[in-house]
A and B are shown apart, each in its own frame.
Chain A
C-alpha cells in the first residue's frame, strides 16, 4: 500500500502535466505564434493585488511600455487591467474536436498577460512552454511506446524461439548498443530530410528515437522470457498441447510486465531528452513550432543567455519532469 501511494505521488503530477499540455490551447493565454512586435524580451508581467492607493483589488496587471532608455520596460501605472477567467480570445480547436475561443486566463485590453515574459518576437513564453511541452513530452512518450513495442516483439521472439532467431536478433542488438546513442541518433538524422512539415518532423523524430532505442528493452525482455519459458506451469501448459501464441500471450508476456513498466519509466525521460537535444541542435522541431528543445536553443545566443533569465523556463520544467520520472522509476 505504501509503495502504491509513493507511485501515485509520481503518477498524479505527471498525469496533470500531460493533461495541461494536451489542452494547451485552453490553458495558454495566447497562440504560440502570436507576436507582440513591440514587446521583444519583455520580462514576466507582475501580478498586482493592491492599486496605487493601496486598495485591494481582484488580481490585475499594468500595461508594459518601453521605458525612457528604450532598452527596458516599465509599467503604465495609470490604468490597471484586470485578469479574468474563461475569457474570449483567439479561436482554436480543442483536441482537434470542438471549436471554441475560450481561454482559462485573459486580461483586459490593452495589457497583455505575459506571466513568463516573451521571447525575441514578443511571443508569450508561457503559451510556448505549454505548446512545446505537448511536443516534447508526447515525443518521449510515443517513442518509448514504440521502443517497448519493438523490444517486446523482438525480445520475446528471441527468448521464446531461441536458436538462430535469438542469435540474429541479439547480434543486432549488440550492434545498436555498441554505438553512443546520441551519435547514432545524429548520424541517422543526418540522412533524413531536414526541412519538412511540423507533423512530419514530429512523426520522424518519434520513429527515429523509438527505433534506435529498441536494443536495451529487447535484451531485458528476452532475459525474462527465457526464464519464464522454463517455468513448470508453462511446460505443463505446453504438455497439454497449448500453442505458441497462447503460451506467449497467456503465460510468458504477462511475466514481462514488470520490466516493461520500469523500462518505460526510464526510457520516457531519456527520449524526452533526445527530442529536446535534437531540436536544440536545430535538427528537430523547427520554428515557429515550439518545443522545449528549440526554446532552449535560443539560449545559445549570448545576449539571451546573459540578460533574459525567463528564457531558462523550459530547462527548469525539464528538471522537474526528470525528477518525477526518476522517482517513479525507483519506486516501480
Chain B
C-alpha cells in the first residue's frame, strides 16, 4: 500500500512538472486568443484589453499559473475562451470517449495478441512463421493516418458504417436493444482501426517473450511428463512470459493515446484529439493545456495499473517492496 501511495505521489509530481512545462511554453507563444478580435474594427482596443484583464492574461506568468492551479483544484482546469465554459466540463466528456475507444481497443488487441503470438511462437511450420513475420511487418509499416483513412474510405464507400460520432442523433428515442445496436454500429470502425494500429507491436512482444520461455528447460521436462501442448502453452509458459508483457502494457499507453488522437481526428470520434486540434488552431490556451494534461493523467493511470498488475502477478516484486 505504501508502495502504491509512493507511485501516486510520483505521478502527481510528474503532473505538476508537466503543467509547469506547458505553462512555460505559453509564455513563448506569440499572441493569444484575443488577437483575432483586435483585427475586427467593430471591437475597440479597450474592449479587448478589458477582456484580457478579465481573464487575467495581463498578469505575470507565475500569477497566472497559481490562478490556474487554483481552478484545477476546483476541477475547472481554467476557462475556455472559445466555448465560454470551464475547461473541466469540456474535458471530462471527451476524456470518457477517448478512454472508451482506447480501452475497448486495447482489450481487444490483447485478446487477439496473446493467443496469436503464443501460437506463432510455438509453431514450427515455416509458412506460419513467414506469414506472421510478413504480416506484422506490413501492419507495423502502415502509418496510423493511412489506416484511419482506409477505414474512412470503407465507411464512405460501402455505407455500412456511420461516418463519425459516437451515437445517432435520435439515439435517446431508441429502446434498449436499439441503443446497443446503435452504439456497436458506431464503435465498430474506430475500435477496429485502433486495434489494428496497436496489434502488431503487442503480437511481436508476445511472440518474443514466449519464444524465449519456450526454449527454457522446465518446459522441456514438462513436455517429457506428457502435458498436452495447449495446457503447456497457456498454463505453464504464459505466466512466466507475462512479466515483460505487463510492463509493455504500461509503456504502450503513450503510443496508444497518440494513435487514438489521429484516429479520432480522421474518423470524427468526439474524443480529446479533435478538441485539442481545434483549440490549437483557435489559440484556446487553457483547453490545450488541459488536453495535454488529461492525456498525461491517462498515461500515468495506465502505468500505475501496469505496476499494480505486476505487483499481483510477480511474487518477486512483492518481496522486494
Contacts and interface: CB of A to CB of B under 8 A. Distances in A.
Contacts of A315: 143, 145-146, 149
Contacts of A181: 254-255, 258
Nearest to A190: B280
B141 A182 contact: no
B280 A283 contact: yes
Interface in B254-275: 254-255, 257-258, 261-262, 265-266
A178 B141 contact: no
Contact of A187 (B138, B145, B292): B292
Interface footprint category on A: 35 or more
Given A187-B22, A319-B141, A277 B262 contact: yes
Nearest to A280: B145
Interface stretch (B114-122, B150-158, B232-240): B150-158
Contact of A190 (B149, B156, B254, B288): B288
Nearest to A270: B255
Contacts of A107: none
A129 B220 CA distance: 54
For chain B, the bracket of interface size reads 35 or more
B137 A323 contact: yes
A104 interface: no
Contacts of A322: 140-143
A306 interface: yes
A296 B149 contact: yes
Given A191-B28, A315-B143, A326-B140, A182 B153 contact: no
- Interface secondary structure of A, over-half rule: helix
A178 B141 CA distance: 25
A282 B281 contact: yes
A179 B296 contact: yes
Interface stretch (A139-147, A159-167, A297-305): A297-305
Contacts of A190: 25, 29, 279-280, 283, 285, 288
A300 B153 CA distance: 10
A61 interface: no
A182 B261 contact: yes
Interface stretch (B13-21, B78-86, B124-132, B312-320): B13-21
A150 B183 CA distance: 47
B257 A183 contact: yes
Interface string B1-33: 000000000000010011001100110111000
B166 interface: no
Nearest to A176: B21
B149 A183 contact: no
Contact of B29 (A178, A192, A306): A192
Contact of A186 (B26, B253, B276): B276
Contacts of B138: 319, 323
A276 B262 CA distance: 12
B277 interface: yes
21 contacts: A178-B18, A178-B296, A179-B254, A179-B292, A180-B257, A180-B261, A180-B295, A183-B258, A183-B296, A187-B288, A191-B25, A191-B28, A276-B143, A276-B145, A282-B281, A283-B280, A305-B152, A319-B142, A320-B141, A322-B143, A326-B137
